[in-house]
Structure 1
Amino acid sequence: MKNLKKNIALMLLLAVSFSNAQEKEKMNHNHDKMMTMKGDTKSEAILSDYFNLKNALVTDDSKKAAELGAKLATSLKAFDKSKYKVEEQKELTDIIEDATEHAEHIAKSDIGHQREHFKTLSKDISDLIVITGTKSTLYKQFCPMYDGGSSWLSTSNQVRNPYYGSKMLKCGKVKETIN
């Protein structure tokens, strides 16, 4: 009887320990998920540079867009993928390499070519945000007129078209709110 009580006590202790370990694991997973959903400082820096570049294209400022393309390329290269899961790291590597290439092209192109590269860059930044999350509310906007239809991200729900600038400043609409 004494051994039976010890075995029952031991089994209860193991069950409680196992249950606590599962709860702790769940809490850690939820914390990691929340951190990912809110974005990190490096992804927020990338977003800031992206929005500054978008605004330069909105105002038809090719010189400023070139400077900001170079700055964005630097921010992209500084991104630390190490806190993400292995599958996400591979995806982030592909996204960042592609986005960096487009940002570098923007840094040395005329405004027409800058806008062409901005289209793919915008897709890359959208894909990045799906993985990293963001602290901000963003608006995915869409212009049906540019190159068969083109999207970009904005911090404002007011459309300011980076593909046409002053020619068609308000061409487009909000397609999605992110966050």
Structure 2
Amino acid sequence: MSKLKSTLGIVAIAFITLTAVSCKDSKKEQESIDGHQSEMNSGEDHSKMNHDNSDGHHDGEKTEMAMGGHGTSEAVLNDYFNLKDALVADDNAKAKELGAIIATSFGNLDVSNYTDAQKASLKDIIEDAVEHAEHISESDIDHQREHFKILSKDVTDMVAITGTKNTLYQLFCPMYDGGSAWLSMSKEIKNPYYGSKMLKCGEVQKEIN
């Protein structure tokens, strides 16, 4: 009887030991799987983050620009396209913010590398553009669009002197204020003068290289 108890005790201990080892191994395996999944998820999140950032860029045109540095005409164009997109989206607050930004960009435009005649023209353009951009930074959206029309003319005149690294399109809305033009990186019509009211009103007037 004593021998039987001893044998049963040994079997019980062996069973408990095997169970513990099995659980430990299982836990390690699960931790390994969880760790692998965590790494995969981290990679997926990183990939998703990059994808989301990439997608966000398509909302506007600034990242499509072959941008120059601070004080360049390309920087002015970048801010102009952002402002255009805000008006397309009927976003008065954003347009106010961007009006102030483009006023600063125009004020910082470096004209030192141009001829005297070009410098004189650019200084006139800058003075006029800053005035209208400042009005945009303080106005309701209807008034912003009135000043955007003149600002678009200033930007177009600037590009005629400075040139552009990108192909631009001059688009035209025959309905707004007797006919109004604006610049875009795309031929697609997204009207900044009417926004959601008449988003597709307009046509491609010319291509600027």
**Pick aligned residue for 1:139 from 155, 165, 169:** 169
Deviating 4+ runs (over 6 angstroms): none
- 1:69 pairs, out of 65, 79, 99, with 99
Say which SS state the counterpart of residue 196 (structure 2) adopts: helix
Number of residue pairs matched?
A: 142
Give 1:39 deviation, angstroms: 9.2
TM-score, normalised via structure 2 length: 0.67
Q: Could you say which residue in structure 2 is the equivalent of 1:118?
A: 148
Greater relative contact order (Cα 8 A, min sep 6): structure 1 or 2? 1
2:201 corresponds to: 171
Report the TM-score, using the length of structure 1 for normalisation.
0.78
Q: Which residue of 2 is the match for residue 30 of structure 1?
A: none
Aligned position for 1:99:
129
Alignment of 1:88 onto 2:118: yes
3-state SS, counterpart of residue 87 of structure 1: helix
Q: Return 5+ residue gaps in structure 2 as ranges.
A: 1-65
In 2 relative to 1, CA 86–39 (structure 1 residues): closer, same or farther, beyond 3 Å?
A: farther
Check conservation: 2:171, 2:206, Cα contact below 8 A.
yes
CA distance in 1, matches of 2:165, 2:104: 21
Query: How far is 1:40 from its partner?
Result: 5.5
The structure having more radius of gyration, on CA atoms, is: 2
Q: CA deviation at 1:94?
A: 0.1
Alignment partners' CA distance in 1, 2:88 and 2:67: 26
Give the match for residue 43 of structure 2: none
**After the TM superposition, which residues 37-48 of structure 1 pair with which residues of structure 2 at under 5 Å, given as runs?**
41=69, 42-48=72-78
| 3-state SS of paired residue (2:192) | coil
Which residue does the alignment assign to 1:29?
none
Q: Deviations over 1:110-159 (max 9, x none)?
A: 00000000000000000000000000110000000000000000011000
Query: Over aligned residues, Cα RMSD in angstroms?
Result: 1.3
Matched, 1:151 2:174: no
Aligned-pair identity in percent equals 64
User: Which amino acid in the other structure matches residue 144 of structure 2?
Assistant: Q
Q: Gapped runs of 5+ residues in structure 1?
A: 1-37
